Amino acid sequence: MLAGHHVVEIFDEEEARALLKDIGVDPGAYIYLLPKAFFRFIKLKNISARAALIIKQEMLAKGGEAAISRSALSAEGYSDVLLMGNLKHYRLLLDKLKVQPFGLKSLAAEIGAMLEAVVLKRATIALPGKRSLDLGGRPLVMGILNVTPDSFSDGGKFSDTELAVEHALEMAEEGADIIDIGGASSRPGTHIVDETEELKRVMPVVEKLAGHNLTLSIDTFRGSVAEACLAAGVHIVNDIGRLQLDPGLLPVVVRHRAMIIMMHNRLQMPSEEPYKDLIADIIDELHQSAAQAEAAGVARDRIVIDPGIGFGKTPAQSRYIIRHLHEFNSLGYPVLLGASRKSFIGKTLGLEVDDRLEASLAVTAMAVMNGAQIIRVHDVKESRRVIDMTWAIMQEKGHDGRARVVQ
């Protein structure tokens, strides 16, 4: 007879506090107990063997664990390091690393920043045109508005300006927080149109929607297209090239103080080397672009990252990214996920593009649970409901402490 004994899951500090309160723990002990309630794994890449040995020694001394390559025991070469410990272990470790050689002081700062970043915080982000976005709370919906004849899912449906405007307003009514306007399809195998044609497609729609109370995004990698759209009232640039396809884009974003979404992409930007460590490689490339943007003057809170589902990833890699999406929060930027109706769903379940709604919604729920703050979708009404219900479940802490959820 177990008498109610059970394994407990604690998702955040608020829930941990509620559990301690239910038990009747002295509140003065919370400061000592809470750091022990959260276990974190951190993977460090290409650490010198001498530094890795120090990290392992210090983490073990603090009660945590650190795994390093067997070859690093000779104190030569480099090794990845897997750290395992609770927040107390990390706090004690970082205090020690701050006074160690071999670059460990700066590494300690990076580890500390990652531990802070994975705890999502609410923030209101200023956008051009006196608009703003609230991030870190209920995830936002970005509704897709393709004004193209050849997009993989809805190509040709909204090429007419009036139909496009009508659809945008409908998506806003259904709960879209952002309308993402695209005039150049980037699907595999397609020819990307020139900037003249792209502008011809998007500008009439942008100009009409700018008169409405909407937050607008332009899906482009071109500086000239972004310039025209931002000047006309767009607030966000959604760049599939993470600033690498057109050097003219970054100055435009800086000048307009726009938000930029940077997507990882090995489809239009193939790499000569295959992925060696999928998540780490994507994080590294996104970090390089984000650092480039910050160095040029883009405010850190106006940068959003997107792992680029399907863009140079196999279906298995896309599924793995979604399962491990929370790891991208390590960079400290809001994460957008765009997986709606994509081919990895079709290849996983054997479904045609018009029959992928339920699977897309499953991905949406998983993305919300794994820390995505913006979800880019075709089906706004259904996605909004899934996001809101998933979020409501995630936020349920109980009415009077964790053990007293009775209604």
Could you give the residue numbers annotated as active site? 342, 376
Q: How far is CA 37 from CA 11, 20, 125, 221, 332, in A?
A: 9, 11, 31, 44, 22
> What DSSP string describes 124-138?
EEEEGGGEEEEESSS
Q: Between β-strands 140-146 and 303-306, what pairing exists: parallel, antiparallel or unpaired?
A: unpaired
CA dist 136 and 201 (Å) reads 33
Helix 315-323 vs helix 357-369: crossing angle, to nearest 10: 40
Using an 8 Å Cβ cutoff, are 307 and 321 in contact?
yes
CA dist 200 and 44 (Å) reads 47
Using an 8 Å Cβ cutoff, are 377 and 143 in contact?
yes
Helix 49-61 vs helix 87-97: crossing angle, to nearest 10: 130
